[in-house]
Amino acid sequence: MLEVTGQIANAHAAFSREALEALPRVELVTSTVVTDGRHVFSGFLLRDLLTQLDAQGSHVTAIGLNDYVVDIPIADFQRFDVIIADRMDGELLSRDRKGPLWIVYPRDDHEVLQDIRYDYRWVWQLYRLEVK
C-alpha cells in the first residue's frame, strides 16, 4: 500500500494496510481546497513514520498513483502535524475519493498553511515516498 525508499535504515520499506493501521493513529479536522467544508481525517503522523524508518534526508518526494510528484521538506513534518490519512469522516479513502492514502496538512490550524505553496503538497492517491 505504501513504499518508502531512499535514505532510510533499510533503503526500502513496504507497508500493507494492516501495518499502516498498526501505527499510532491520530485524527485531524480541517478544510481542504478540493472538498466542501471541514472533514475529520484519520491516519498517522508522517514524522512518526520517518522516525520509525530512521530517515536521514532533507526532503521527501511524494508520488501518487495519478503520476503526481512533489518534493516536501522534512521540516514540514516537524513543524506541523502532517498526516497520511487513510480515512475521511470515518470512511476508508478509495481511489475515487483521493485514496487509498492522502497527505493532509492541518490547514485550519495555521494561517501559513492556507498558502497555495502548501496546497501543492497535499498528495492524494499516495503510494510512494522517496527520502532524499
- 78's grid cell: 516537524
What are the boundaries of each domain within the chain? 2-131
Query: CB count, 10 Å around CB of 27?
Result: 12
Instruction: Please tell me the distance from the alpha carbon of residue 86 to that of residue 98, in angstroms, as a whole number.
Output: 9
Written as tens digits, the pLDDT of the chain (132 aa) is 999 999 999 889 999 999 999 999 999 999 999 999 999 999 999 999 999 999 999 999 999 999 999 999 999 999 999 999 999 999 999 998 899 999 999 999 999 999 999 999 999 999 999 999
What are the residues whose beta carbons fall under 8 Å from the beta carbon of 18, sequence distance 6 or more? Answer: none
Taking the model in full, what pTM does it have? 0.95
CATH number (3.30.200.20, 3.40.50.300, 3.90.420.10, 3.40.50.1000) of 2-131 reads: 3.90.420.10
Q: What angle do CA 93, 94, 100 make, to 5 degrees?
A: 65
